[in-house]
Structure 1
């Protein structure tokens, strides 16, 4: 009894120590998880390059990473150049917008007058200047956060590179230790998990691209200024499952109403229609082909992961739920099926001929050890 108590206490202490260690190293663990997702997503492309072009895995991985960075840089140029132009236009128009707002004219001034915000700003001018000073003093914190973000991104890239290069060796060693049917099951789990992660990431990026392009077209047609910047923000927000398009609609709708009430109504109608199309057409297609999760499981997973891990948790919730589903199907359900199988046929289940698959009409006639031999001896007696 005392030994069992000590074992239980030891297990509890080990669990608490493990959770405390995970909490203290949560930033490193988050970087490892994000790098693992990117490594799994890029691994099929690396395998293809290694088979067809470059034999060394390290060189093939480097080629894929360089090509990915070039593609991202080209996309960044396509986005940043219009963004810089829009920001320059905004900087040139900022003094006129400010004078119009102070005089109660223009779209911004009319909005301030409609919601009585200009009177509030005039009555609390000292507090607003104080908040502006506090915002200016927080520049150091912003710079520090930017540096940490860049360092974290570089860490993720290096980890993903090493995971792809060393992945086959680690996988082969793990499967060799498992051996037999267990190795085959682990190989199947890894293959299905990789397919789930790759499908989710590529599908989510595709949906965000569609949302951003459609938003840019609508904003450009309605004449809303800074359409490229707003469409980029909407595309980034749409990466968040289920609620991303709604968050983007708030930004785009606000910009539309600042331009004109007609443009605001058109933008809101577009997002209502697009949200229905994304939830009932695009997202179900992606989820059914990638993670095979029903909508309720998707929603609960996103809400729980967002509560625990914030934005990163919401982004990783659906593939993690798909991996959990794969593990349950491979281990829990497989064990249940194995336990439900009938036992092997015993002596009482054998056919009269001495073998389970031997029909009675094929009884041996040599009077040997079969049931027919015993019957012949009884009749002779």
Structure 2
């Protein structure tokens, strides 16, 4: 009979310094790339929003430029912007004042409303009296009134957010304007550097994508307009 060799076999793996260096550089590069993407998330979002907005406005700009004697896309884009900005300004001018007034009135009337609940002959008033919640409601109303005087911090934070949003909106409008004016030139440059045998195929695909994106964006604009109209009726 043969003797069984019970000795444990040891597997030794040797990793060179060059391999460790490559792995370390790969990990550092991955971390750096993720941090860059995270820091550029907001600017990239603005660029994508501008791109889709330019796609949505491009049919209008093209139609206006074809009707102008100068055939200028700059003038057509300015006219389209004037229409869009006028609609937005009118919308916010109608919506914001009643919204602010109703919100302010609601905040001020909360303590009085809570106090009236205790004396109301209703299901809610019966619920409060049945479970003896008068003290809790009174404390909440007192705290609410006390906290109304210390709203400086939240107001400043809200003002900062509004200012940041305004800057973002202006950035989107500027980028969209540049894309609408320079877009055809950029597209012509791309097609010039595209191989001739594949150019027709890529152009067909690009046109289909353009139609799909434009239809989607315009559909969303129509839905948002309908929703805004119903909201306006409710607020007024």
Answer whether TM exceeds 0.5 for this pair.
yes
Structure 1 residue ranges without an equivalent (≥5): 218-226, 230-381
Going from structure 1 to structure 2, the CA distance change for 1:80 and 1:127 (only over 3 Å counts) comes to closer
Going from structure 1 to structure 2, the CA distance change for 1:114 and 1:16 (only over 3 Å counts) comes to same
Q: Deviations over 1:14-56 (max 9, x none)?
A: 5543332221121111111111111111011111111122511
| Corresponding residue of 1:103 | 116
Going from structure 1 to structure 2, the CA distance change for 1:14 and 1:43 (only over 3 Å counts) comes to farther
The higher-RCO structure (CA 8 Å, 6+ apart) is: 2
Going from structure 1 to structure 2, the CA distance change for 1:165 and 1:122 (only over 3 Å counts) comes to same
Instruction: Pick from 29, 33, 56 the counterpart of residue 18 of structure 1.
Output: 33
| Corresponding residue of 2:215 | 199
Q: Does 1:151 align with 2:167?
A: yes
Instruction: Pick from 189, 193, 204 the counterpart of residue 173 of structure 1.
Output: 189
Decide whether the 8 Å contact of 1:121 with 1:128 is kept in 2.
no
**What TM-score comes out, normalization by structure 2 length?**
0.71
Decide whether the 8 Å contact of 1:104 with 1:113 is kept in 2.
no
Going from structure 1 to structure 2, the CA distance change for 1:75 and 1:173 (only over 3 Å counts) comes to same
Distance 1:142 1:191 in 2: 42
Instruction: Pick from 90, 93, 100 the counterpart of residue 74 of structure 1.
Output: 90
Going from structure 1 to structure 2, the CA distance change for 1:147 and 1:80 (only over 3 Å counts) comes to closer
Decide whether the 8 Å contact of 1:36 with 1:163 is kept in 2.
yes
Instruction: Pick from 42, 53, 62 the counterpart of residue 47 of structure 1.
Output: 62
**What TM-score comes out, normalization by structure 1 length?**
0.47
Structure 2 residue ranges without an equivalent (≥5): 1-15
Decide whether the 8 Å contact of 1:46 with 1:61 is kept in 2.
yes
CA RMSD of aligned residues (A): 3.8
Equivalenced residue count is: 214
Distance 2:30 2:106 in 1: 59
For the residue of structure 1 that corresponds to 2:37, the secondary structure is helix
For the residue of structure 2 that corresponds to 1:55, the secondary structure is coil
| Corresponding residue of 2:10 | none
| Corresponding residue of 2:200 | 184
Distance 1:44 1:70 in 2: 19
| Corresponding residue of 1:359 | none
Distance 1:111 1:159 in 2: 54
Decide whether the 8 Å contact of 2:64 with 2:76 is kept in 1.
yes
Going from structure 1 to structure 2, the CA distance change for 1:113 and 1:32 (only over 3 Å counts) comes to farther
